[in-house]
């Protein structure tokens, strides 16, 4: 369990698992990526990461507003947005350096274009300016710009979510429905626009906030209506999995992810409900206890995301160069599995190193004592949105 009783170990574990999966999914020849969520669903680890980001942000705001007041919470989230922006710039710089190194070594693979290195050689100053102003977002760093906006909005949105959850959800749904035309208002050097439309993806972030501030009680989850919802969620998840595995022959269009299509929202909601039930039964906590390094990855989220990008580029490039040289499929699969294991080990190593560095900082120790994830101790279960069903009367301990 976490040293801080207000933190949810199960949530940290799922965040860490999502970060590891994101790193593997960015490796083209990865063997383990065939077992990750995107293979069986219309959603992937990005939804998990954004949803849990909303959950953690609501918990952090709750703790900060209690311990230091709303002004303190506003300052902390302003600082957090700056930290995310710096993380975005570092990620873009690492990608650019990797691309330049690939060009110097005469390695020309598909991932080279994603690094923006070829464009940098043609228009260096304009490319750097576009990246700094978010007009051009290197592919693997594209999720961070919308997080900057989310962090800035949390102090404004969290009080509304806490007092009027129905109003907050309806407003979020309305914004999600209007997202595609609004996305064109964002500055972008790419005609397609931002890879992650923040006007659409705020819905996933909002669902995470609602789950933290208004969790469904265990009483309802185990009631007849709750069990009926579990059966429906299982049927929906299995139907989507069957379609992905047996019917779909072409990759889904990019705009479905860019604007967070209804298929992705529905599929994720069904899976999230099922995971919440597994957490209620204690399965997630047992996994977290058995795999503490994964929990550490979740607690060092931004650091692991930034350096995970570098790790995935190195692994992807190595496999693209090496795999075609193998003469048998067995050799290629063995190489891919080896690269996957090294990738996971590298992400775990980054998390452990970052945790040790932060533990030596006085500010980190003060934050750990004050708490970051909630106003009160979190129960070892994941919550689900209260909008799924009416909340029973009486006070119940919130799920984590």
Domain locations in the chain?
Answer: 9-382
The DSSP 8-state label assigned to residue 8 in this structure reads -
Q: Other C-beta atoms within 10 Å of 359: how many?
A: 10
Give buried/exposed letters for 37-54 (b at 16+ CB in 10 A, else e): bbebbbbbbbbbbbbbbb
Record the pTM. 0.88
Q: What is the pLDDT tens value at each position of the chain, 400 positions in all?
A: 333 434 689 999 999 999 999 999 999 889 999 999 999 999 999 999 999 999 999 999 998 888 888 888 899 999 999 999 999 999 999 999 999 999 999 988 888 888 999 999 999 999 999 999 999 999 899 999 999 999 999 999 999 999 999 999 999 999 999 999 999 999 999 889 999 999 999 999 999 999 999 999 999 999 999 999 999 999 999 999 999 999 987 888 888 999 999 999 999 999 999 999 999 999 999 999 999 999 999 999 999 999 999 999 999 999 988 877 887 888 889 999 999 999 999 999 999 999 999 888 765 445 444 444 344 334 334 555 443 333 333 333 333 3
Query: E strand or H helix at 279, and its extent?
Result: helix 262-280
Whose CA is closest to 346, among 388, 381, 303?
A: 303
* C-beta of residue 316 within 8 angstroms of C-beta of residue 26: yes
The answer to whether the CB of 218 falls within 8 A of the CB of 399 is yes
- Judge residue 187's burial from the number of C-beta atoms within 10 Å of its C-beta, 0-12 exposed, 13-18 middle, 19 or more buried: exposed
Among left, alpha and beta (phi > 0; psi -120 to 50; other), residue 344 is: alpha
């Amino acid at each position: 369990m976490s040293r801080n009783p207000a933190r949810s170990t199960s949530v940290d574990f799922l965040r860490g698992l999502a970060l590891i999966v994101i790193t593997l999914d960015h490796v083209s020849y990865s063997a383990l990526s065939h077992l990750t969520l995107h293979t069986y669903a219309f959603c992937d680890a990005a939804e998990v990461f954004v949803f849990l980001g909303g959950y953690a942000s609501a918990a952090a705001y709750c703790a900060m507003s209690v311990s230091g007041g709303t002004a303190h919470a506003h300052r902390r989230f302003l600082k957090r947005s700056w930290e995310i922006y710096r993380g975005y710039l570092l990620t873009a710089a690492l990608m650019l350096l990797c691309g330049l190194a690939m060009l110097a070594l005469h390695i020309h693979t598909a991932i080279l274009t994603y690094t923006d290195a070829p464009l940098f050689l043609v228009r260096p100053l304009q490319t750097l300016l576009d990246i700094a102003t978010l007009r051009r977002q290197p592919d693997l760093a594209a999720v961070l710009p919308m997080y900057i906006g989310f962090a800035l909005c949390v102090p404004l949105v969290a009080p509304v979510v806490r007092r009027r959850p129905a109003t907050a959800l309806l407003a979020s749904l309305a914004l999600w429905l209007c997202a595609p035309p609004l996305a064109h208002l964002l500055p972008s050097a790419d005609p397609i626009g931002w890879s992650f439309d923040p006007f659409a993806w705020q819905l996933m972030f909002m669902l995470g906030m609602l789950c933290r501030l208004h969790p469904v009680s265990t009483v309802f989850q185990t009631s007849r209506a709750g069990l009926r919802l579990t059966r429906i969620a299982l049927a929906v998840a299995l139907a989507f999995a069957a379609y992905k595995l047996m019917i779909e022959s072409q990759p889904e269009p990019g705009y479905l992810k860019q604007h967070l299509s209804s298929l992705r929202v529905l599929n994720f909601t069904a899976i999230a409900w099922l995971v919440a039930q597994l957490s209620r039964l204690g399965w997630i906590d047992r996994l977290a206890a058995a795999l503490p390094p994964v929990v550490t990855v979740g607690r060092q989220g931004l650091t692991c995301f930034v350096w995970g990008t570098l790790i995935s580029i190195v692994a992807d490039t190595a496999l693209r160069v090496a795999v075609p040289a193998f003469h048998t499929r067995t050799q290629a699969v063995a190489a891919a599995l080896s690269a996957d294991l090294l990738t996971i080990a590298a992400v775990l190593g980054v998390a452990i190193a970052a945790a040790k560095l932060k533990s030596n900082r006085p500010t980190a120790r003060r934050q750990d004592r004050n708490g970051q994830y909630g106003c009160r101790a979190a129960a070892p279960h994941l919550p689900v949105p209260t909008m799924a069903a009416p909340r029973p009367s009486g006070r119940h301990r919130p799920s984590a």
